[in-house]
């Protein structure tokens, strides 16, 4: 608390010396001192909130900030005391791409899979997600994925542990039918685009990417995070019929497998969920954000 209070004075001093045209914050405790310092010096400020449920810093600074840019329409009603809120979306690197059959075959061949069965992409962030990993190990052991293929990024820290778990069950991690297991996916844009279904946590960036790619999803929100924001992010897709939500404490192999099959074995449902996801995607996000910043500088 002492360091935080001291930080207000330090931030104001840095801003005064730097003399910026505008100060932009993206949430987190450091915004408190920085945005407040800029406000006291009469410098225009902008906050960008990427989650559907705004964080404490954004709510506390709402009256001081000239503009708040949000990624989800739902977030607007959760910041009632803001001066001005603009729905812009969140800038993300991964975008929708159309591949030819030969390009898809090349991508899939490198994974030792094929295009004849639906592909389910599973990941839990760069570090993996233990609860998701446990459910997938169970699916593999029970051979539940006979009607679909799995591309599973375990996270670098959990790969060796999972490899050992599978070895103890006499399963070779490099030779599993309909399954490719890797520590990390470096060509994520390609893999997300060629997948039929995505299973993941529901961080703001992930949800935005899923919407932009128009992909059906099964989302397992990370529990015990600030404001339960991952659940609210997931609900933004669930509300429009683009995603199924499974709570972390309810996740287990049979339930997950049933959800997977209900989507990918019903082409009409898969296509509809895809269209629904694309409805909440935002176009020209960078342009919209740039426009709002330019208006303040003028």
Residue 223: predicted pLDDT: 86
Mapped onto helix, strand or coil, the DSSP state of residue 75 is: helix
Residue 127: predicted pLDDT: 57
The CATH H-level superfamily of 2-90+283-297 is: Glycogen Phosphorylase B; (3.40.50.2000)
- Name the residue ranges covered by the structural domains of the chain: 2-90+283-297, 101-279
Q: From the centroid of its chain, how far is CA 215?
A: 13
pLDDT band at 114 (very low <50, low <70, confident <90, very high): very high
Mean pLDDT score, 60-77: 92
pLDDT surpasses 90 at 65? yes
Strand order in the sheet with 23-25: 23-25, 45-49, 67-70, 85-87
Mean pLDDT score, 53-64: 90
pLDDT surpasses 60 at 95? yes
Which residues lie below 8 Å from residue 37, measured CB to CB, with a gap of 6+? 8, 11, 12, 14, 15
Residue 61 near residue 36, CB atoms below 8 Å: yes
DSSP string covering 6-19: HHHHHHHHHHHHH-
Mean pLDDT score, 70-82: 90
pLDDT surpasses 80 at 174? yes
Phi-psi region of 28 (alpha: psi -120 to 50; beta: other; left: phi over 0): left
Alpha-carbon span 257 to 111, nearest angstrom: 21
Burial of 52 from C-beta contacts in 10 A (0-12 / 13-18 / 19+):
buried
pLDDT band at 125 (very low <50, low <70, confident <90, very high): low
Beta strands, E only, the chain: 23-25, 45-49, 67-70, 85-87, 119-123, 149-153, 179-182, 197-200, 217-219, 243-245
Q: Does domain 101-279 have CATH number 3.40.50.2000?
A: yes
Residue 124: predicted pLDDT: 84
pLDDT band at 228 (very low <50, low <70, confident <90, very high): confident
Residue 36: predicted pLDDT: 93
pLDDT in tens, 184-193: 999 999 999 9
Mean pLDDT score, 254-266: 97
Question: What is each CA distance from 60 to 55, 68, 123, 146, 199, in whole angstroms?
Answer: 9, 12, 33, 51, 34
Judge whether 2-90+283-297 and 101-279 match in fold. Answer: yes
Mean pLDDT score, 32-40: 93
pLDDT band at 3 (very low <50, low <70, confident <90, very high): confident
50-64, 196-210, 228-242: the lowest-pLDDT one:
50-64
Percent of the chain with pLDDT over 70: 98
């Amino acid at each position: 608390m002492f360091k935080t209070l001291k930080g207000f004075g330090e931030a104001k001093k840095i801003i005064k010396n730097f003399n910026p045209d505008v100060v932009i914050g993206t949430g987190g405790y450091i915004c408190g001192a920085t945005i407040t310092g800029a406000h006291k010096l009469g410098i225009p400020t902008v906050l960008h909130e990427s989650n559907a449920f705004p964080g404490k810093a954004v709510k506390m600074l709402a009256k001081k900030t000239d503009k708040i840019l949000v990624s989800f329409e739902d977030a607007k009603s959760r910041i009632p005391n803001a001066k001005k809120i603009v729905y812009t979306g969140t800038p993300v690197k991964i975008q929708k791409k159309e591949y030819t059959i030969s390009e898809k075959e090349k991508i899939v061949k490198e994974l030792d899979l094929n295009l004849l069965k639906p592909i389910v992409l599973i990941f839990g962030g760069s570090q993996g997600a233990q609860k998701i990993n446990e459910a997938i190990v169970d699916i593999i052991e029970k051979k539940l994925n006979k009607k679909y293929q799995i591309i599973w990024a375990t996270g670098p820290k959990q790969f060796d542990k999972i490899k050992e778990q599978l070895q103890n069950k006499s399963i070779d991690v490099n030779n599993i039918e309909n399954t490719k297991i890797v520590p990390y996916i470096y060509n994520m844009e390609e893999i997300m685009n060629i997948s039929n279904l995505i299973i993941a946590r529901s961080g703001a960036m992930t949800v935005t990417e899923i919407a932009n790619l128009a992909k059906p999803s099964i989302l397992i929100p990370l529990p015990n995070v600030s404001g339960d924001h991952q659940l609210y992010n997931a609900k933004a897709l669930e509300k429009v019929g683009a995603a199924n939500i499974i709570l972390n404490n309810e996740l287990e192999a049979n339930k997950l497998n049933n959800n997977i099959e209900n989507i990918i074995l019903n082409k009409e449902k898969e296509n509809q969920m895809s269209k629904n996801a694309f409805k909440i995607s935002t176009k020209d996000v960078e342009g919209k954000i740039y426009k709002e910043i330019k208006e303040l500088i003028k």
